[in-house]
Chain A
Amino acid sequence: MSDYLFYPGCSMESSAKAYYHSVMSVCKALDVKLNEIEDWNCCGATEYLSLDVTPAYALIARNLALAEQQANGATTVVAPCSACYLNLSKADHYMHENKAFGEKINAALAAGGLHYDPGQLVVRHLLDVVINEVGLDKVKGKVVKPLGGLRVAPYVGCMLPRPDYNSRYSDSEHPYELDDLLKALGAEVIDFPLKTACCGGHMTQIGPATAFELIRRLISSADDYKADVIVALCPMCQMNLDAFQGQVNGYFHTNYKMPILFFTQLMGLAFGEKPENLGFGSEFVSAHEAMKRIGVQTPVPEEAKPARKKPAGLPMPPLRVRAGLKSATGNKEATE
């Protein structure tokens, strides 16, 4: 199996450690060799694009430039996060499609002694690699503990199948790749109507009411179909559905307890890896019950105890924050 340039993305080292560990374990099992891009930077999610086009693309392109430098033979960049995946491929796509734009971005990169030739690298999401490079047969071959009896809602989200610049997926609204994978693991896959609906994205931060509604739709729909768990393939989706589920319940006076897992966690289980090594237990809504149903013991997440320090005392003294914010607003000083 060939080598891949690996772009983990910020969440993988904070909120989505479970994803990180399970990805590592699974790729090891499938001997997919991931070489992390040395000194990669944040892709800017959707936020930077909202502020300044050129810097946003320059930020993304830096990663591509680094990847191209470190490629030695590898041609594919793998991102496990849908947002990162889309940003990277978006940058490559537009730099390629619009020469002038590509040159503009490279002009910016040049300031840091970097350059990227659009079209040089192929950007792919991990799921795509597992399905189309590794192949389901190989996956099936690795399954030792089939997930029989587990009803899963395959949740693909937005940025993987849309806009899908290189049309890698079967459909932009009802793609079946994730279903096939989960079926290969022996799980019972529901026809999830909201498979590619939105998780709310950053709206949890800026229009929570809107975001909560989007989350509610997803969870309730999965619940209507009697799903035991929702399977996600993007840290943002997982976080929104998992971490905010409590608040959603509060907001709508519902009482959902829908565990949200990463597809790699289930793959790991099916491959016979220990739940501990797959980041189980780090979810807000415990998957313990659901997993017990198929005879898997996953660690019970410890309930959050009120810490000594007040949560308000989060790092970052107010001054620096304001300074930071201020500087972030006025374009010029920002980089001073």
Chain B
Amino acid sequence: MNEKVIVNDPPSAGPVVHEDLSLLHDVSLLTPGDSHIEMCIQCGTCGGSCPSGSAMNHTPRAIFAMLRAGMRDEVMKSNTPWMCVSCYYCTVRCPQDIHITDVMYTLKNMSLKSKMVQDSTASDFSRTFIHYVENYGRSFEIGLAGIHSVTHLRLAARLPSMAPMALGMLTKKGMSPLPPKHIKGMKDLKKILKRAKELEAS
């Protein structure tokens, strides 16, 4: 089944052109805390531990090697960070104490800003999710599942329909089909997020 889910093509065997040696530095700079990313010894514990590794077009280890090699575009285009399920196996097992999961978040951020994301499924899902949070202060699973499968039909189509499940959500779990109520501090929350985004940009 692995083949089924490989989203991108495997990397080309061509030589690395225009190396970008600032890449590694950028990544560790954008990661909160000390990621120790420069310490990687390429042992592959991360790649071996990754539950969704089979769905990645590069293993995390390969990504770190590419960061060193300054292969910015390849990394930005990779689906690896987007396949990360944040299980933190790699993080706790890494013999060099590299905060791999956090680095994956950083890479997602970077690739979005670089506009090089290949498959927007994951990023759009995140956006939809955050759309609710940014406007209501709470997330909204039903709406989320709904819109997401609507906006990504090709995906939904590939699977048995999600409808019965969504329905179950309503009936069994007694979830409300209405979007969540705004939290009281919504105005302030928006201010906070606005300021945060400015800080992020600066």
Contacts and interface: CB of A to CB of B under 8 A. Distances in A.
B and A form one assembly: yes
A15 B108 CA distance: 28
Contacts of B133: 41-42, 44, 48, 59
A51 B147 contact: no
B155 A208 contact: yes
Contacts of B175: 14-15, 17
B192 A111 contact: yes
A17 B122 CA distance: 27
A111 B164 CA distance: 43
A130 interface: no
Nearest to A66: B185
B1 A213 contact: yes
Contacts of A325: 124, 127-128, 131, 147, 151
Contact of B180 (A10, A200, A331, A332): A10
B80 interface: no
A281 B194 CA distance: 42
A173 B89 CA distance: 8
Contacts of A331: 197, 201
A331 B85 CA distance: 24
Given A107-B195, A325-B131, A158 B89 contact: yes
B193 A57 contact: no
Contact of B139 (A42, A173, A282): A42
Interface stretch (A180-188, A223-231, A297-305): A297-305
Given A58-B192, A97-B33, A282 B172 contact: yes
Contacts of B30: 53
Interface in A66-105: 93-94, 97-98, 101, 104-105
Contact of A14 (B33, B142, B155): B142
Given A197-B51, A208-B155, A324-B135, A158 B192 contact: no
Q: Is the interface of B mostly helix, strand, loop or mixed?
A: helix
A98 B199 contact: no
A52 B85 contact: no
Contacts of A304: 164, 167-168, 171-172
B196 A55 contact: yes
Contacts of B176: 14
A94 B32 contact: yes
Nearest to B129: A47
Interface string B1-36: 100110100000000000000000000001011100
A48 B133 CA distance: 9
B140 to A, nearest CB: 7
B91 interface: yes
Which residue among B130, B184, B189 has the maximum number of chain A CB atoms within 10 Å of its CB?
B130
A301 B172 contact: yes
A328 B167 contact: no
A51 B143 CA distance: 20
B103 to A, nearest CB: 12
B89 A162 contact: yes
B45 interface: no
A-B pairs with lowest CB-CB distance, top 9: A112-B188, A162-B88, A111-B195, A108-B196, A314-B146, A335-B194, A58-B196, A198-B87, A55-B196
Interface of A: 10-11, 13-18, 39-42, 44-55, 57-59, 62, 93-94, 97-98, 101, 104-105, 107-114, 158-159, 162-164, 172-173, 197-198, 200-203, 205-210, 213-214, 239, 243-244, 246-247, 250-251, 281-284, 301-302, 304-307, 311-312, 314-316, 321, 324-325, 327-329, 331-332, 334-335
22 contacts: A10-B180, A13-B180, A41-B133, A42-B132, A42-B133, A45-B139, A50-B126, A59-B196, A101-B33, A105-B196, A108-B199, A200-B85, A206-B125, A207-B121, A281-B172, A282-B174, A311-B166, A315-B179, A316-B147, A325-B151, A328-B127, A328-B128
